Homo-oligomer: A and B are copies of this chain.
């Protein structure tokens, strides 16, 4: 066999149990809410024709796409996001999919970025989208579902900033010049929440907008009122149960991508510094531009990795590693059948349980429990096997007690819910 490179590919990650347990936990919570809103799951493959992926988001994006020729001479690519494959699905299965199709899709996507802190070449996106409706209610369902998904993960105060990209453009268009188009103004205005006001004015001036015009543009934006469409979205969002303070009108919010045609929104979690955890909006032209059918759409992508990071930061994920909660030790050959039958009983009660693999000194068996963080160890020796009891050892305190078989699972449940006491 060939000499082996024993490390993870640069820019990629392994998830060992502690991380993986956290990720699965967050994903499970998010999916529960997606489902409760009637979003249906769709999964697209890990390879697509490169002609589908390339040329969709400009040259810069194309340079980040993983693409190669397969053994059959086809040019193929790993997905860069989920929107392009979804546009394909909408085109390809047009007749099978219902009107107002609402779907969630969770998968890893790939970008050959320069790996920096927190930037990986494979990362996970959770998308929800409603296709076919141009009504503000569709936007509101996306925003409300997002809010409740963050709440369900345990974030106490998710904040959603909301703007209307069309009215943003309309407001700023009068200030555009031949040298500085409206999108360039928008890109600077978008920095108002991160940069001082005069720095934004200076940036606009450096682009070629005179200071008076720049000031006027900012004043115009700061005085903006929510558009009628945004007002309808906000009303519906609150009607769906999102509290008043959780969604705020953010007149300077622009979001990077130029394909949004109406509402745009971003999710923040106060106390977690690294920017937005999810972002989306209405994109009524994009599906057709991507080769899909002509249909309005609104949706959001959760930056799953950053969301998990935030959840870990706030202690919202399980502290465990998914290891067993109970280790059944083996005393000797004669009592092994009784021990195995105890393991079966514990598992049937929904308690995670591992049997020590083989006969060994009891001390060594305890050591394994310690190493794996297994809080409860069961000992079934000759006395226990004969008397239908089990010796239960609390690994934290070292205390042991004899528990009748019939009371065993109840006792274990009590132990795991009050760690440190026996």
Contact = CB atoms under 8 A, between A and B. Distances in A.
A382 to B, nearest CB: 17
Contacts of A6: 52, 88, 91-92, 291-292
A108 interface: yes
Contacts of A340: 236, 239-241
Interface string A290-302: 1110000000000
Contacts of A350: 36
Contacts of A164: none
A88 B292 CA distance: 41
Contacts of A179: none
A122 B51 contact: no
Interface string A94-109: 0011111011000010
A347 B38 CA distance: 10
A361 B289 CA distance: 30
Interface in A286-342: 289-292, 321-324, 330, 336-337, 340-341
B290 A45 contact: no
A176 interface: no
A207 to B, nearest CB: 28
A260 to B, nearest CB: 17
A256 interface: no
Nearest to A21: B41
A45 B122 contact: yes
A294 B88 CA distance: 47
B4 A88 contact: yes
A100 B368 contact: yes
A121 B358 CA distance: 40
Contacts of A2: 51, 54-56
Contacts of A356: 100, 137
A66 B70 contact: yes
A283 interface: no
B110 A46 contact: yes
Contacts of A70: 66, 112
A86 B40 CA distance: 33
Given A2-B55, A4-B291, A88-B4, A43 B20 contact: yes
B71 A69 contact: no
A62 to B, nearest CB: 10
Interface string A239-262: 111000000000000000000000
A271 interface: no
A38 B324 contact: yes
B352 A290 contact: no
Interface of A: 1-10, 12-17, 20-21, 23-24, 35-49, 51-52, 54-56, 63, 66, 68-72, 74, 76, 78, 88-89, 91-93, 96-100, 102-103, 108, 110, 112, 121-122, 130, 133-135, 137-138, 141, 148, 235-236, 239-241, 289-292, 321-324, 330, 336-337, 340-341, 343-344, 347-348, 350-359, 368, 371-372, 374
Given A20-B41, A37-B347, A41-B322, 15 more contacts: A1-B289, A4-B52, A7-B49, A16-B97, A20-B43, A36-B347, A37-B324, A46-B110, A70-B112, A99-B368, A135-B358, A137-B355, A239-B336, A241-B340, A241-B341
